[in-house]
Structure 1
Amino acid sequence: MDTAPLYMDTGSAMGVQIPTAGAGNTMRDAKTTQTVSAPTKEVHVEDFLSRYATSVRPGERVSFGTYFNAFPASYWRRWTTVDSVRLSVATSGAGAVIVYKSNARGALQRVDSVRVEGDAVSNFDLSLTPFGDGGWYWFDLVAGSAPLILQGAEWQAEGDFKKPGTITLEITTLNKTDFCINNLRLLAENPQALEHVKELILVDQGTQKVADAEGFAEVADALAGKLRIINQDNLGGSGGFARGMYEADKNGSDYALLMDDDVVVEPESIIRLLTFADLCKTPTIVGGHMFDLYNRTVLHTFGEVVNPYSFQPDLPSGEMTLGHDFVGSNLRHTGWMHRRVDVDYNGWWMCMIPTKVIREIGLSLPVFIKWDDAEYGLRAKAAGYPTVSMPGAAVWHVSWIDKDDLVGWQAYFHARNRFIAALIHSPYEFGGKVVRQSYAFDVKHLVSMQYATAQGRIMALRDLLRGPEQLHGLLPGKLPEIRSMMSGYSDSQFSSDPDSYPAPKMDKPPKRGHGVTPPSYVGLLPWAAKTVIRQLSLPVSDSSKERPQTNVAHQDNRWWRMSQYDSAVVSNAEGTGASWYKRDPKQLRTMMAESAKLHAALLKDWHKLSTQYKNALSEITSIAAWEKTFEAHSEKSEN
């Protein structure tokens, strides 16, 4: 029931219309901007008859203009050989089937309708010609004086199509046995999704083996011999996903479908990705979207690009919303979602890559985690292979809003791998603003008393400057090295007991009773300079060494706030614990100087490093190079 709005919509038939010359579906006043959605009627669980059938109550109307049931026509028109589709709707009872479409602005239009009675199959032949920049097709059902039953519906295309391709579905896991067993069970219960899956590979890099988990034998039997487990050392996400690519090419599959372990999959997505990829004009990477696992109707990302100047992940359009909730605004009322979104890459929470592409451009960069998916999409794009983030195919995954992977051990990989990708792909001299922005990040971490994170980023720059030849060798040992380093910093030592730290006490009350407020844009530079000078020179009081000045919730952990304290207990993103941040002027001076020195060296050697990483790319991502790494770090026994 949590996900019902993604499948059925009981709101008004047309909802809020977007004016011909209007700007969108928003209502504005002096203080707020609010997306409008039509009122909906309650959805009843007893109306759901099966995965494909439902009942519409007498006199009521249900729309299938929803995320999982509407047809994203513009994507099929742009990327595939399909130029028309047939909507086939099987019903029982009396009522009407009404077909709608939208354009790229989200304006809705009625296309056709038919009255039905008894057992009926209604077919609608629909052209894809008008969907150049965006738009969807969908249908509504209206019941008469008795229930109208939807027996099933399909979007079909005619033509002399080739035999469906074969998939190797690979899941990389590290001690997520419950998630893995659940997804294996979901797949086993939906055999139609596995019809063209040649092999389901679980690359287990953890110490808690999935094969030893309760319920494994049962799901393994249900998968009828398609499941194979590969045990290898922890080579990170890139090592696990590269193994999936390697095995897909080795066993002759047409596609490698990469999937995270901590997800809940919609099995129908596998069929949709395969059908779309088979019909693409050229070999195309096709990925699914990501919904929030803990807030099931929230679509976390609809598509991503890499901003070439800042070299950071970005949204393709300023109209898009990160974290869109379909309860607040359904598909028919969300104008920006009707425009086709073209992307640079798709996250590897669910992404299908043709093995033809793998053979031509290689496997993942050996970078453990972070930026492997984005770099691969950019590499494929440079070779002429596009990526499509396909609406209607998705998984539920823990969103990074509920994580803080820019702080802690992952900061090393964020910093180093972003630079590697920029050295290879940035179109700007010296990588645009990536170097100066990186130094600004270091300063923010340091004035926030996040010394472990800053040290990890310094380690990243040192390794980056050593060149690309070492990357494979760093895969198994870098994470333990980082964790060992971080154990020496109080800001990375967490306690789950709130009473384990002394009660906070301020040396003096806040000015005029107000807490810390952010600086104005105009006064930012002088304020920041004054703050850095204070942190570098002013000694820490004895009382702040003995007890924290305040407790800071994770969402309030901002650099401009933290820089005003000498000591604070800060909660982590997961809410499972807190750590004690302590200002250390000596450490600050040393680390800030080293960061400046390393960034200067990076700027000085940018062109030389860029040439080195570009020249090494084909070798370090090659099947042969990864094969050596797998041989060195795989366990001999495979299930």
Structure 2
Amino acid sequence: MSGPRPEDAPAPAWTTAREALDAPPGLPPALYLRLDGPDGARAPGRFPVALEAGETLSLDTWFNHFPLPWWRAHGAPGPLAFEAALEGPGTVVLHARAPGAAAVALARSEVEGGTVRLPVPAAAQGRLWAEIRAAGPLRLRAARWAVQAAPRPVRLSLGLVAHDREGPLAETLAEALRAAQARPEIARIWLVNQGAPFADPELRRLAADPRVSLIEQANLGGCGGFVRTMTEALATPGLTHHLLMDDDIRLDGRMLGRAVDHLALLREPRALGGAMLDLRAPTLVHEAGAAVGRFGVIRPAAQGADLATAEGLAPFAALQPVEFNGWWFFALPLDALRAAGLPPPLFLRGDDLDLSRRLTAAGAPTATPPGLSVWHEPFYAKATSWQHYYDLRNRLIHAALHDPGDPPRALDVLERLLTPALSHDYATAEWRLLALRHFLGGPRALFARPPQEIHAEVAALAPGLRPQPLDAAPEGLPVIAQPPGPVSAAAHARGFALATLALAAPRREPFALVHEKAALPGATLARAHVRSDPAGTWFRLHAPRRRVALSLLARSLWASLRYRLRLRRALADWREGAEAARAPEAWARLFESPR
């Protein structure tokens, strides 16, 4: 018998991998399109973009370039091309820039209008972009990057968690609903409110949309809110993916359509992350995915890169190492979530990392494509406080669950305790001591208490030991900036010793303005100082208190010794107890907690 041969099968249609985007009002135009001509640069406006003779429209931008290294690692195999729908005469040129190399022209086409397709050569390397040069009046109606591959079906739900940030939430929800109108693949939105009932009439109107399911529940932290949306998605037939978003992001709703396009064309199952751009400096990268180091330390990709410049885009000519993406924009395949299971109830800080590790083990590692992003308040702009409790506690839990063969050593823990204790950040030392105590107490004791009760204890801790907030730093103080590299263990030890000795004669007048990551005991030496983030968004006065510091020093030494003695037992307790706490029935009981 004979039948059709594989080579006789029709080729797949061209499918959108990435649609070209114009800049909406209020978002940085330099990240979308750039228009230059004989009289200099001008704003290109919205589609259709009109060009005069001699002008050039460039797609060499964050949102409109094509990240070929990322696509070859994660996207569907098949021929790639750039397509543009034009009216009028001009030239379309396809460019590439490999890492460390000059830009090269890969292909060009002279056009009089219509749709042009420029194939991407198989030998192309690095970032791709197109330029359109007008020979006369010309209009670009639309453009896209396309792949000749069949997309997988995608049916996406969204999960939003709210806690008393109604203004940004209303904007994000409005963008999401507009995206759902344009993209029928977006099937459902779950909005979990863990704060006060909504007061904003516009937000109440948006939340009443039939595509939105509003759930009011007790404050279970970001972890509990997002897990609630996951459980709802898992219970809904027909959904393939679920996308988590923070309530305080700035969202270009077309990112949801871009996420759908990428999910449909992934080569293998992946959790898809979006980069975080700095809401205060909106062309800067805060985190474009991240690698994960020892002790669960996050190493952000391309942090600080200015995406409005060629230098800022240069890192994306190569594939960035990514193991993790935060839940400000994170889409996960539901089949992988079923296999991985839910994270334990960590309240906040570290829940996203835990789930990323579980999804990777279930066959869906994280991938963060360049050009998929949201804006978010940067972490440096938030003066740290009780979050130190969750940072340390949950990193210890993470090590117990995922790296039990290489947990933090007692000296690692001691450094985490002594650094704030000997640099006048006494409340942070108290939060970390409580975190260590709760970790060593094990999961049964911790998870037997309602998360709201634990959070209330943490938030109320050490009110008399917190630094004094300031509106600004006193004028004339010298600045101590963040050290350029990591501080060695020997340097830490010398700093601890010198800071302890300096407590014999503390100085209570501020001697310097110290950036937060430079506020080490060896730099402050029992001297009052004003602490700030590098951008100067907050200021706090830290003053030495000899008795408090010596008490914390003694308690930190005892706590680190206790950690060393009890670590093996704690690791075993957490591996067993966390499994019970992350079971669906355990989460269901938490969801029933009174508001």
Residues 496 and 578, structure 1, Cα contact 8 Å, conserved in 2: yes
Match of 2:359 in 1: 380
Report deviation, 1:235.
1.1
Correspondences of 1:137-152 after superposition (within 5 Å): 137-144=128-135, 146-152=136-142
Paired residue secondary structure (1:368)? coil
Paired residue secondary structure (1:5)? helix
Residues 412 and 456, structure 1, Cα contact 8 Å, conserved in 2: yes
The one-character-per-residue Cα deviations of 1:579-617 (angstroms, maximum 9, x if unpaired) are 543322222222222222222232333333223322334
Q: Is 1:424–2:401 an aligned residue pair? A: yes
Instruction: Output the aligned Cα RMSD.
Output: 3.3
Moved more, 597-606 or 575-584: 575-584
Equivalent residues, number: 565
The one-character-per-residue Cα deviations of 1:432-461 (angstroms, maximum 9, x if unpaired) are xx5423321321211111111100000000
Correspondences of 1:529-608 after superposition (within 5 Å): 529-536=496-503, 538=504, 544=508, 548-549=509-510, 552=513, 558-560=519-521, 563-568=524-529, 570=531, 579-608=540-569
Runs of 4+ aligned residues of structure 1 deviating over 6 Å after TM superposition are 514-523, 572-577
Match of 1:349 in 2: 328
Match of 1:214 in 2: 201
Q: Is 1:199–2:199 an aligned residue pair? A: no
Match of 1:100 in 2: 95
Identity value in percent: 24
Paired residue secondary structure (1:215)? helix
Cα distance in 1 for residues equivalent to 2:490 and 2:344:
42
Which amino acid letter does the alignment assign opposite residue 33 of structure 2? M
Match of 1:461 in 2: 436
Residues 479 and 514, structure 2, Cα contact 8 Å, conserved in 1: no
Match of 1:173 in 2: 162
Correspondences of 1:426-505 after superposition (within 5 Å): 426=403, 428-431=405-408, 435-472=410-447, 473-491=449-467, 494=469
The one-character-per-residue Cα deviations of 1:491-543 (angstroms, maximum 9, x if unpaired) are 2x546599xxxx999xxxx9xxx99899998994685254233245x1658xx
Which amino acid letter does the alignment assign opposite residue 468 of structure 1? P
Unmatched segments (≥5 aa) in structure 1: 13-38
TM-score (norm: length of structure 2): 0.86
Q: Describe the shift of the 1:610–1:178 C-alpha distance in structure 2 as closer, same or farther (beyond 3 A).
A: same
Q: Describe the shift of the 1:273–1:425 C-alpha distance in structure 2 as closer, same or farther (beyond 3 A).
A: same
Unmatched segments (≥5 aa) in structure 2: 1-25
Q: Is 1:234–2:210 an aligned residue pair? A: no
Match of 1:22 in 2: none
Cα distance in 1 for residues equivalent to 2:367 and 2:481:
42
Report deviation, 1:466.
1.1
Residues 269 and 394, structure 1, Cα contact 8 Å, conserved in 2: yes
Match of 1:34 in 2: none
Residues 178 and 253, structure 2, Cα contact 8 Å, conserved in 1: no
Which amino acid letter does the alignment assign opposite residue 306 of structure 2? D
Q: Is 1:300–2:286 an aligned residue pair? A: yes
Residues 516 and 561, structure 1, Cα contact 8 Å, conserved in 2: no
Cα distance in 2 for residues equivalent to 1:535 and 1:323:
36
Q: Is 1:120–2:111 an aligned residue pair? A: no
Cα distance in 1 for residues equivalent to 2:400 and 2:266:
31
Which amino acid letter does the alignment assign opposite residue 121 of structure 1? T
Which amino acid letter does the alignment assign opposite residue 300 of structure 1? H
Q: Describe the shift of the 1:344–1:435 C-alpha distance in structure 2 as closer, same or farther (beyond 3 A).
A: farther
Cα distance in 1 for residues equivalent to 2:360 and 2:430:
34
Cα distance in 2 for residues equivalent to 1:77 and 1:328:
24
Paired residue secondary structure (1:460)? helix
Q: 1:282 aligns with which of 248, 265, 268?
A: 268
Moved more, 525-534 or 242-251: 525-534
Residues 265 and 396, structure 1, Cα contact 8 Å, conserved in 2: yes
Match of 1:528 in 2: 495
Q: 1:188 aligns with which of 144, 159, 177?
A: 177
Cα distance in 1 for residues equivalent to 2:537 and 2:223:
27
Paired residue secondary structure (1:199)? strand
Residues 479 and 513, structure 2, Cα contact 8 Å, conserved in 1: no
TM-score (norm: length of structure 1): 0.80
Match of 1:626 in 2: 587
The one-character-per-residue Cα deviations of 1:69-103 (angstroms, maximum 9, x if unpaired) are 11222222222333222322101111111112333
Residues 101 and 110, structure 1, Cα contact 8 Å, conserved in 2: yes
Cα distance in 1 for residues equivalent to 2:481 and 2:371:
43
Report deviation, 1:251.
1.8
Match of 2:12 in 1: none
Q: Describe the shift of the 1:395–1:337 C-alpha distance in structure 2 as closer, same or farther (beyond 3 A).
A: same
Match of 1:6 in 2: 31
Q: Is 1:329–2:335 an aligned residue pair? A: no
Match of 1:24 in 2: none
Cα distance in 2 for residues equivalent to 1:278 and 1:3:
28
Correspondences of 1:55-94 after superposition (within 5 Å): 55-94=50-89
